[in-house]
Structure 1
């Protein structure tokens, strides 16, 4: 990850969903590029159903086996100037992914290594 003014790090300048490849690519204002696979993106879903609420675990906490429909990206909607909302083939569309979350969870080797170094984790997540 490159250091830049704090506002630039999580400011997307280009968002491209490649449905056939099952990827979401974001170009950031600091010239960094993040490419998310659909499976990883679905596991990252921050909605209350997937993550839980009021102290109750979410659906993803049960470690389900995701189906092809649950990981096939159908569309991506911009939510204001702060997030995107992917729509999945199974109809799920309530996860608002803030740009800060997406940038913090960039799956590129450099960002994974930086997170691992900051936390002492070997997984980087």
Structure 2
């Protein structure tokens, strides 16, 4: 039986098929893998939450998604951004009609809010230091 959460054998918050997709397409760059894994984790949490959370809970859960997007911008180089990796990974996470609907339902609940710009350092936003990675 298929589930919204899918298979996450290592329990890291990213479905195995999404992990493979990231590794196959951006495996040459540790920065890309880490930044895109953050995107995938945040999107997966949003899909699982769907519309089952309150507006306030959705807004709180949106912060990791915003941080993941900021990390992608701060950590990735222009070549990564040119591949539209963020959008591709987000759509891979929401790869069924039900997952897509739940992701959009979550975005609706989390939306219509002004979120403060995170002023933390890049390593704090990303959860890793992109400058310390070779590529």
Q: Which TM-score applies when normalising by structure 1?
A: 0.25
Q: More helix by proportion, 1 or 2?
A: 2
Q: More strand by proportion, 1 or 2?
A: 1
User: Which structure is higher in RCO with an 8 Å CA cutoff and minimum separation 6?
Assistant: 2
